């Protein structure tokens, strides 16, 4: 299977490393011509994971999206959710016909608040059977350093999910395959919101004891949301909450210093404005967009989500973080 990657941030670069380390030839869509020229000359991405060098014989770079999509059987999406719609709308509605689309984005489409599979189904008529999700606790920076990591590949077509996972499996990357393609995506969206909240707590100088209680309550809230959501969306299926795509990703994003969401939240807890934190981070914290999308989505779902709601209200309605956390403290078990 010929693989294509859409995006040039940290995660796209990490996934390109894994695929090319395994000897796969890839087509890679990079938006910026200067970044392409730099990579052709210097063999690494000048902005993200700069220590990762590529065998340029294995990498075909292009800023023409249609070209990359046409050349790929398996298309990996790794653009932050806030830009995904702008990127995908460059394609014709037939462009994804017959393709396997592998979503590595941990987010909802801002505005419509759709899961990526629902968005691709609406715009490109992509059946869920051709759609796969990559989730799990995995920071691009650790992939760059070849530290042992685990990724989960989910899809209704388990055999195809397995063959995609096999393209990524190697000595530093273990893969897990399941059919829970909706649940793992929602868990990934939620954990970004909770990690941002963990960062806020850290910025407010709560300690490790509180953080462990906070994460416990977030994990329960995540399950409550998925349980309520699943009642109206039977395709959501059953979820193994103790698997690494659920609990593991929540833990790594709340605890790791690599986490963009935690770092962003930490600045908010310390008193930065959203704008100032965005400028300082210079990377995308998905939890910021997710908090709004999830808040709106939950108006229909109706799950009890005090933590996600507090994060949304702090970021989007200027609620004082200290006051929000004082209110949360009382409800934790």
Ligand X SMILES: NC(=O)c1ccc[n+]([C@@H]2O[C@H](COP(=O)([O-])OP(=O)(O)OC[C@H]3O[C@@H](n4cnc5c(N)ncnc54)[C@H](O)[C@@H]3O)[C@@H](O)[C@H]2O)c1
Ligand Y SMILES: O=P(O)(O)OC[C@H](O)CO
Residue 134 and residue 148: Cα distance in Å, rounded? 16
Question: Which partner in ligand Y, ligand X, none is near 87 (CB below 5 to 8 A by kind)?
Answer: ligand X
**Residues contacting ligand Y: total by CB under 6 A:** 13
Letters for 70-99 (x = contact with ligand X by CB under 6 A, - = none) are --------xxxx-x--xx------------
Under rule CB under 6 A, residue 249 binds ligand Y:
yes
**Phi, psi dihedrals of residue 281, rounded to the nearest 5°:** -70, -40
Rounded distance between C-alpha atoms, residue 273 and residue 140, angstroms? 27
Query: How far apart (Å, rounded) are the C-alpha atoms in residues 143 and 298?
Result: 34
Which CB sits closer to ligand X, 138 or 311? 138
Instruction: Tell me, yes or no, if 297 is annotated catalytic.
Output: no
Using CB distances below 5 to 8 A depending on partner kind, what does residue 253 bind out of ligand Y, ligand X, none? Answer: ligand Y
Neighbour order of strands in the sheet with 100-103? 59-62, 26-29, 3-6, 74-77, 100-103, 131-135, 149-155, 173-178
Near ligand Y in 104-143, by CB under 6 A: 106, 137-139
Stretch that binds ligand X, among 17-25, 89-97, 103-111, 178-186 (CB under 6 A): 103-111
Selection from ligand X, ligand Y, none that 239 binds (CB < 5 to 8 A by kind) is: none
> In angstroms, what is the minimal distance from the CB of 253 to ligand Y?
4
Binding test (CB under 6 A) with ligand X, winner from 31, 46, 233, 270: 31
- Whole-angstrom Cα Rg for the chain: 19
Site string for ligand X, 6-25 (x = CB under 6 A): -xxxxxx-------------
Q: Where would I find the H helices in the chain? A: 10-21, 33-42, 65-70, 81-88, 116-124, 140-144, 158-168, 181-203, 208-232, 249-255, 260-269, 274-281, 286-301, 306-317, 321-331
| Catalytic option among 191, 270, 292, 330 | 191
Binding site residue list for NAD(+): 83, 140, 260
Catalytic machinery residues: 191
């Amino acid at each position: 299977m010929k693989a294509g990657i859409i995006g040039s941030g940290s995660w796209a670069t990490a996934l390109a490393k894994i695929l090319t380390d395994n000897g796969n030839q890839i087509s890679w869509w990079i938006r910026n011509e200067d970044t392409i020229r730099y990579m052709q000359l210097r063999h690494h991405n000048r902005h993200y994971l700069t220590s990762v060098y590529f065998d340029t014989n294995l990498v075909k770079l292009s800023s023409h999206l249609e070209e990359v999509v046409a050349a790929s059987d398996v298309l990996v999406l790794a653009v932050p959710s806030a830009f995904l719609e702008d990127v995908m709308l460059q394609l014709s509605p037939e462009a994804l016909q017959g393709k396997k689309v592998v979503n590595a984005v941990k987010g909802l489409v801002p505005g419509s608040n759709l899961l990526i599979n629902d968005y691709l189904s609406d715009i490109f008529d992509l059946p869920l059977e051709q759609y796969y999700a990559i989730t799990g606790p995995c920071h691009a920076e650790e992939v760059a350093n070849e530290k042992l990591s685990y990724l989960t590949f989910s899809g209704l077509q388990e055999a195809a999910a397995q063959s995609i996972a096999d393209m990524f499996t190697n000595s530093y990357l273990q893969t897990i395959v399941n059919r829970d393609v909706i649940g793992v995506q929602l868990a990934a969206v939620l954990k970004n919101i909770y990690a941002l909240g963990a960062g806020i707590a850290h910025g407010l100088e709560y300690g490790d004891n509180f953080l462990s209680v906070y994460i416990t309550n977030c994990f329960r809230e995540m399950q409550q949301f998925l349980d309520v959501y699943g009642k109206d969306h039977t395709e959501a299926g059953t979820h193994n909450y103790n698997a690494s795509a659920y609990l593991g990703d929540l833990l790594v994003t709340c605890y790791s210093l690599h986490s963009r969401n935690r770092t962003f939240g930490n600045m908010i807890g310390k008193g930065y404005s959203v704008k100032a934190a965005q400028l300082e981070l210079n990377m995308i914290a998905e939890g910021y967009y997710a908090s709004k999308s999830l808040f709106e989505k939950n108006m229909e779902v109706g799950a009890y989500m005090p933590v996600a709601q507090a994060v949304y209200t702090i970021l989007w309605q200027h609620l004082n973080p200290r006051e929000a956390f004082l209110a949360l403290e009382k409800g934790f078990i």
